[in-house]
Amino acid sequence: MPTRKNSRAASGSGTIRQRPGGRWEGRYTVGRDPGTGKQKQKSIYGDTQREVRQKLARITADVDNGTYTDPSKLTVGAWLDIWLAEYIGNVKPFTVASYNTQGRVHIKPALGAVKLSALNTHTIQAFYNKLHRGSDGKPGLSPKTVKNIHGVLHKALAQAVKLGYLKYNPSDACALPRWERKEIKPLEEADTVAFLKAVQGHKFELVYIVDLFTGMRQGEILGLQWSAVDFDAGTITISKQLQKEKKKGGQYYLATIKNERTRRIAPAPSIMGLLRKRKVEQAECRLKAGAAWDNSMNLVFTNEIGGHLAHVTVYNNFKRIVAALGIPESRFHDLRHSYAVAALQSGDDVKSVQETLGHHTAAFTLDVYGHVSERMRKESAARMEAYYASVSKL
Q: Is the Cα torsion angle 65, 71, 73, 77 positive or negative in sign? A: positive
Distance CA 359, CA 181 (A): 16
Query: Is there a contact between 294 and 316 (Cβ–Cβ < 8 Å)?
Result: no
Distance CA 386, CA 388 (A): 5
Q: Which residues contact 138 (CB under 8 A, 6 or more apart)?
A: none
Q: What are phi and psi of 310, to 5 degrees?
A: -90, 135
Predicted confidence at residue 12, as pLDDT, reads 42
Per-residue H/E/C for 303-336: CCCCCECCHHHHHHHHHHHHHHCCCCCCCCHHHH
Predicted confidence at residue 326, as pLDDT, reads 95
**Which of 77, 68, 99 lies closest to 165, judged by CA?**
68
Predicted confidence at residue 1, as pLDDT, reads 40
Residue segments in the chain with a per-residue pLDDT below the cut of 50? 1-12
* Residue 204, number of CB atoms within 10 A of its CB: 16
Predicted confidence at residue 287, as pLDDT, reads 96
Q: How far apart are the first and last CA of the chain?
A: 80
Distance CA 189, CA 171 (A): 46
- Amino acid letter, residue 1: M
Predicted confidence at residue 10, as pLDDT, reads 36
C-alpha separations of 282 from 27, 201, 311, 327 in Å? 68, 15, 19, 31
Distance CA 14, CA 29 (A): 7
Predicted confidence at residue 392, as pLDDT, reads 77
- Amino acid letter, residue 136: D
Q: Is the Cα torsion angle 91, 87, 73, 164 positive or negative in sign? A: positive
Using alpha carbons only, give the angle 27, 160, 179 rounded to the nearest 5 degrees.
Answer: 150
Distance CA 315, CA 71 (A): 47
Q: Which residues contact 228 (CB under 8 A, 6 or more apart)?
A: 236, 237, 238, 239, 240
Predicted confidence at residue 377, as pLDDT, reads 65
**Which of 242, 267, 245 lies closest to 257, judged by CA?**
242
Distance CA 341, CA 372 (A): 7
Distance CA 225, CA 236 (A): 9
Predicted confidence at residue 376, as pLDDT, reads 63
Residues 58-69: tens digit of each pLDDT: 888 888 887 777
336: burial class by Cβ within 10 Å (0-12, 13-18, 19+)?
buried
Query: Is there a contact between 56 and 14 (Cβ–Cβ < 8 Å)?
Result: yes
- Kindly calculate the radius of gyration of the chain based on its CA atoms and give it in whole angstroms: 29
Domains of the chain: 8-65 (no CATH), 76-162 (1.10.150), 189-364 (1.10.443.10)
Distance CA 393, CA 82 (A): 77
Distance CA 359, CA 128 (A): 29
Query: Is there a contact between 212 and 339 (Cβ–Cβ < 8 Å)?
Result: yes
C-alpha separations of 345 from 189, 276, 371, 373 in Å? 12, 28, 11, 8
Distance CA 87, CA 258 (A): 21
Predicted confidence at residue 176, as pLDDT, reads 94
- Amino acid letter, residue 116: L
Q: What are phi and psi of 199, to 5 degrees?
A: -90, -5
Distance CA 8, CA 26 (A): 10
Residues 347-391: tens digit of each pLDDT: 888 888 899 998 888 777 877 776 665 566 666 677 777 777 888
Count of residues making up the chain: 394
Distance CA 228, CA 40 (A): 61
